[in-house]
Structure 1
Amino acid sequence: MEKRGHINPILSNKSKRKTDQQPRKIRSDKLHDIKVPVTESIDLIIRREARKGWGGSKTSVGTEILLYGLDHIFEYPEVIYKDGPFTVHCKVDHTTYNKIGLYADKWKCSIRMAAHRIFIEALKKKQLGGINHEEI
């Protein structure tokens, strides 16, 4: 018996792919997601702040704190970076992501570590009134 093609013509055409495809365009309003590790107490504070506003989320509060730190604080002391089970997502645009990247290059660390450093300092200044001598 001779093997014939499929009855369905879509399945029988094997070489109908486009070979001259252009690369995909990147959206101009694309947001970068940065996961900032936090302690359990900071996670609790951010959850409470998110619940205060109607429809607020942990991500929006975390993003707001990170942007506050980038806009209003100019000196970021070194903090202990410890990865853990509690994280806060921060969604930032491309220019902000590049700004954090410049700090990461300056401090010779990853973007996630730089975002953590900025985030913790901004949280101290904004939420807790500028506690510098105690660890959160």
Structure 2
Amino acid sequence: MGKVKHLNPVLSSSNKKMIETQKRKVRSDKLHDIKVPVDESVDMVLRKESRRYWNGSKTAFGTEILLFGLTQVLVYPDVNYTDQPYTVHCKVDHDTYQKIGDYADVWKCSIRKAAHRIFVEAYKKKQLGGVTDGEI
């Protein structure tokens, strides 16, 4: 009686080779997305300014404000953090994400709250839309 012949030899378990799953490499230029809550008036200003200077990309403009806050602003006073229906996405590299994480550790809050705190102060320093001391 020897070998058993299957109708479809591809489906026979004896001929199958075990396929090992390979781990995917993480891209070195991967960006982290941080959603910063803003109120309606700030959202309107960001939309107008982004159309004027960034060809309509509110994300690129919000990222620029956050990076300005990290590099140019030295003091970040405590701000009221409330979740808003409007958000601006900030896409930062891994080193910048780690820097925001370091601030979050010092302030004992989440990375999103730390990014909000930095964003608010940077927005005030840039003086966009004529807002100086308004809540964001």
Same fold at TM > 0.5: yes
Aligned counterpart, 2:19: 18
CA distance in 2, matches of 1:53, 1:32: 23
Tell me the TM-score normalised to structure 2 length.
Answer: 0.83
1:33-112 paired onto structure 2 within 5 Å:
33-53=33-53, 55-112=55-112
Q: What is the CA deviation profile of residues 52-87 of structure 1, one whole-angstrom value per residue up to 9, with x for unaligned ones?
A: 025230000000000000000010001111112100
**3-state SS in 2 of match to 1:47:** helix
* CA shift for structure 1 position 135: 3.1
CA distance in 2, matches of 1:58, 1:13: 56
> How many residue pairs are counted as aligned between the two chains?
129
**3-state SS in 2 of match to 1:77:** coil
- Code of the aligned partner of 2:32: H
> Which entry has the higher C-alpha Rg, 1 or 2?
2
Q: Describe the shift of the 1:37–1:54 C-alpha distance in structure 2 as closer, same or farther (beyond 3 A).
A: closer
Aligned counterpart, 1:116: 116
**3-state SS in 2 of match to 1:56:** coil
Structure 1 residues without counterparts, runs of 5 or longer: none
Q: Describe the shift of the 1:7–1:111 C-alpha distance in structure 2 as closer, same or farther (beyond 3 A).
A: same
Does the CA-based 8 Å contact 2:54-2:60 persist in structure 1?
A: no
CA distance in 1, matches of 2:95, 2:38: 24
Q: Describe the shift of the 1:52–1:25 C-alpha distance in structure 2 as closer, same or farther (beyond 3 A).
A: same
Q: What is the CA deviation profile of residues 2-55 of structure 1, one whole-angstrom value per residue up to 9, with x for unaligned ones?
A: xxx78694xx36755523x44221111000000000000110010010110252
Structural RMSD (CA): 2.4
Q: Name the structure where helix makes up a greater proportion of residues.
A: 2
Structure 2 residues without counterparts, runs of 5 or longer: 1-5
Q: Which aligned runs of 4 or more in structure 1 are off by greater than 6 angstroms?
A: none
Tell me the TM-score normalised to structure 1 length.
Answer: 0.83
CA distance in 1, matches of 2:70, 2:36: 15
Percent of aligned pairs with the same amino acid? 62
CA distance in 2, matches of 1:127, 1:8: 72
